[in-house]
Amino acid sequence: MKTAFHMSLPCLNVNETKDFYIKNIGASLGRKAEHWLDIDLFGHQLTFIQAEKFNFNSPNYVLEGKILPSFHFGVIVDIDTWGELYAKLSKSDLEVVTQTTFLKDKTGEHLSFFINDPNDYMIEFKSFKELKDMFKT
């Protein structure tokens, strides 16, 4: 059975959020209303609801010497999609953060990069060397 995740998050501005995901990431617009919208992110549903600034006071964590945000979400894509997206975003005015390979030569090896959306959420894009290793320890 193929499944998809759904995540609902507060946003500061519905139109800026829509433009970021559609124009920069290449996602599709789903349902929308005046104060909320759905984004189709590689077959996964992100709902953004206009709200006040949402504050997470969680510290960062360190993985293989890289400081990473403890609160983030992301999507796992194939290597071609990952490369295309990384190349596109690297050429934009947006700041691409921490492009690296994690768990090099270990189970779960994957390429990863992060980018901030207009609501200051960190989005991680991953591509596993072997998709079957995604949940292996």
Residue 60 has pLDDT above 60, yes or no: yes
Could you report the per-residue pLDDT of 83-112, keeping only the tens digit for each?
999 999 999 988 887 788 988 999 889 999
What pLDDT score was predicted for residue 19?
A: 97
What pLDDT score was predicted for residue 132?
A: 86
What pLDDT score was predicted for residue 28?
A: 94
What pLDDT score was predicted for residue 97?
A: 79
Q: Distance of CA 69 to CAs 35, 85, 125, Å? A: 27, 20, 13
First to last CA, the chain: 23
Q: Identify the three-state secondary structure at position 52.
A: coil
pLDDT range class, residue 64, cuts 50, 70, 90: confident
Q: What domains sit in the chain, N to C, each tagged with a CATH number?
A: 6-133 (3.10.180.10)
In whole numbers, what is the pLDDT of the chain averaged over residues? Answer: 85
- How many whole angstroms separate alpha carbon 128 and alpha carbon 101? 9
What pLDDT score was predicted for residue 131?
A: 86
Could you report the per-residue pLDDT of 111-127, keeping only the tens digit for each?
999 898 988 888 889 99
What pLDDT score was predicted for residue 125?
A: 92
What pLDDT score was predicted for residue 56?
A: 60
